[in-house]
A = this chain, B = another copy of it.
Amino acid sequence: MVSTLRSMTSATANPGSQSALRRLNEQRIVEALMAGPATQAELARNTGLSNATVSNIVKVLLDSDVVSTEPTTSSGRRALSVRLNSNSAVAVGIDFGRRHLRVVLANLAYEVLAEQTLTLEAGHRADVSISAAVDVLETLVADSGIRREDVIGVGAGIPGPIDHRTGSVAQGAILPGWVGLQILVHLEDRLGLPVFVDNDANLGALSEVTWGPYSGVENLVFVKIGSGIGAGLILNGLPYYGNVGVTGEIGHATIVEHGHVCRCGNRGCLETVASTSTMADLLSRGEPERLTADEIVRRALARNPAALRVIDDAGLAVGRALGNVANLINPEVIVVGGPLAELGEILLDPIRRGLLRHAVPLIGESTTLAMSALGSRSEVLGAAALVFQNADIAHHT
């Protein structure tokens, strides 16, 4: 519980405090070093921090073996070159899905060291996948030769909202059996490591600005279109969590005033017209068995007219909802992810039309819309990034 609050708010709570500032500055230096070795003077220049601050932080990072230094010359003068020991801190990412479990180990250079994906039965109990995750994690650590003490924390992605106030999975999760579960406490008990929990869409957004191509982007929306539809937000350069931790619920934007009843209890929500479940409902009539998302993608790529029409209608509706989102928060970039991502322009085109139709012109024109390049690893990579954003990199040993 304490850890949930830590995981959710450490980057934003009391932003001027010394400890938050120290961690932020450490992150800046570690990020700068990801581009390659640098002298302390270069680090100061690249981060905007003072020489004294850089020197203090490098000392702390040296003590905990996160960096190493070696003599060099810079502009003819002697200097110290600082190099990241990428494997000195390892983050674990876990993506809990409706029918899958993914685990990655990643290092400070945002390189995947080990990775495993399991298929689970739909409707499995939470403790089944938690046990499986613990087993996979232990096996991956053992097999990859990583020292257990270099694992600084575990990030876990859940396909549902997390209520900050209780540290538990909130109503509306795609995994109904997980609602009310104190996921963080469970995982910490089982793993004996700091745990950070977030929902899938938020992790998708974090993924795009860490592993993905949008590292300089201050304001980004990641939209996951799957059996549910949700968005994750990066605002002013930081993951955004709002009041109780439940944000980006664009799946429940009203699109059809008196439309179908939604699982949230309202009517005509975006999810009732544009989720992969709704697409499957529409396309499965007269079929011998219900279509999966993969089959919808396959048909659309084969230019099946019904599949293309259903995706076009769904895309327009998503674009309309995103027009409202863009009107409100005016992001630089909107990235679309989820199981339909490989459709590319087939899905992006109607979303773009809907967005341009419903956004204020100045906003529509200045918003970049793109498909995620991270595919189905988006959440698990974001979960690992969550650890680097929140765990104490320099003091884990």
Contact = CB atoms under 8 A, between A and B. Distances in A.
A329 interface: yes
Interface stretch (A80-88, A124-132, A230-238, A299-307): A230-238
Interface stretch (A17-25, A92-100, A337-345): A17-25
Contacts of A219: 242-243
A375 interface: no
A235 to B, nearest CB: 6
A233 B247 CA distance: 15
A231 B250 CA distance: 18
A323 interface: yes
Contacts of A330: 241-247
A372 to B, nearest CB: 19
Nearest to A27: B16
Nearest to A161: B362
Given A16-B28, A16-B47, A235-B236, A242 B331 contact: yes
B18 A360 contact: no
A170 interface: yes
A238 B12 CA distance: 11
A260 to B, nearest CB: 15
Contacts of A332: 243
Contact of A15 (B15, B49, B249): B15
Contacts of A247: 328-330
A74 interface: no
A324 interface: yes
A249 B49 contact: no
Contacts of A323: 254
Interface string A344-373: 000000000000011111110011000000
Contacts of A237: 12, 15
Interface string A144-161: 000000000000000001
A204 interface: no
Contacts of A367: 243
B240 A235 contact: yes
Given A12-B236, A240-B329, A252-B360, A18 B48 contact: yes
Given A218-B243, A219-B243, A241-B330, 18 more contacts: A12-B218, A15-B15, A163-B362, A170-B362, A171-B362, A172-B360, A219-B242, A235-B236, A242-B329, A242-B331, A243-B331, A246-B363, A247-B328, A249-B328, A250-B324, A253-B324, A264-B360, A264-B361
